[in-house]
Amino acid sequence: MKVTEYLKNTDKTHFSFEILPPLKGQSLTNLLEGITPLMEFNPPFIDVTYHREEYMYKKHANGLLEKISTRKRPGTVGICAAIMNKFKVDAVPHLLCGGFSKEETENALIDLYFIGVENVLALRGDAPKLEPNFVANKDGHQFASELVAQITGMNQGKYLHDETEIGFQTDFCIGVAGYPEKHFEAPSLNFDLKKLKAKIDAGATYIVTQMFFDNQKYFDFVEKVRAAGINVPIIPGLKPITTLSQMVNLPKMFFLDLPDDLMVELEKCKNNADVKEVGIEWAIQQSKELVKYGVPTLHYYTMSKADTTYKVAKEVF
């Protein structure tokens, strides 16, 4: 079932969440066991992230360094199949521009459709960790709107190397990312909204936001998105703060602000246990206010650690 159909078929706020594939060499068992408690809240869908290659340098005996490409978190397609089989819910894999050619994207979409996946989240993705700027792969997509257009084309039976005029038509529901505090590369929020509009015009039918900690920024974002002529559902993304280091790392990595009221409480914390307690309570209050506002779904970034999200959801759903 499509994400947009879930959102239309009820007047209540859904619960959904995102997970990361395990690191290469780790078992899937722990991930699935972590998902199990969250099924209490009846998520209609679960997002599974996709990860591009990363680079590392291997030093040889002669002192020279060799640049090696590795994909540390493979397995997105297999995890989607496992989730759908075990929990009988829809899996929403992420698809990236970065690290993939158009041909690799097309093949991944065919694999996903054949195992019963009906929804995808189309993202540009980030530059590799050791690279300063995002650069598209050879024969890859530079912008998420281009990736959306490719998926839309497959929904219309258009393939890269058509042997027939119209091929087999997929039927993907396409989600995209939105940034209440704007994408860090965008020179202004209005410019960012134009990029978002391009993704919707290319065929995307819902938006999931970057995490935020100030609900007013989400409310303002929704108002501006609607004013820009975008009328698809906008799902808020949430993440409880759980460690002292996240007070610095989250704003730095995701280019977001922490509200003053939250910082006042966090600055009182002496250890990670204190931070986690504050973070959970803040997320509970955030969630309750968003439910009153009438959001279609509360979408939690779990980082594959279910306990914190469970405590929040227990108080909200």
Find the helix packing angle between 144-155 and 189-201, rounded to 10°. 10
* Confidence tier at 317 by pLDDT (50, 70, 90): very high
pLDDT of residue 164: 60
Which of the four pLDDT bands, split at 50, 70 and 90, describes residue 25? confident
The predicted structure's pLDDT at residue 70: 64
* Residues ≥6 apart with Cβ < 8 Å to 94: 47, 48, 49, 50, 76, 120, 121, 122, 123
Q: What is the pLDDT of residue 98?
A: 87
Stronger pLDDT, 316 or 163, i.e. the higher one: 316
The number of helix segments (H) and strand segments (E) in the chain equals 11, 10
Q: What is the pTM for the complete model shown?
A: 0.92
pLDDT tens digits, one per residue of 98-151: 888 999 999 999 999 999 999 999 999 876 666 777 788 889 999 999 999 999
Query: How many percent of the chain have pLDDT more than 70?
Result: 93
DSSP 185-198: T-SSHHHHHHHHHH
Chain segment 63-81, per-residue pLDDT in tens: 777 666 666 677 899 999 9
CB hemisphere CA count around 73 (13 angstroms): 15
Distance CA 144, CA 202 (A): 10
pLDDT digits (tens, 9 = 90+) for 237-274: 999 999 999 999 999 989 999 999 999 999 999 999 99
What is the arithmetic mean of pLDDT over 286-294?
97
Phi then psi dihedrals of residue 59, to 5 deg: -90, 130
Domains defined along the chain, listed by start: 3-315 (3.20.20.220)
Alpha-helical segments (H) within 124-229: 144-155, 189-201, 215-227
d(CA 204, CA 219): 21
pLDDT at 55 exceeding the cut of 60: no
Extract the tokens encoding 54.
Answer: 């990363």
The length of the chain, given as a count of residues: 317
Active site amino acids: 18
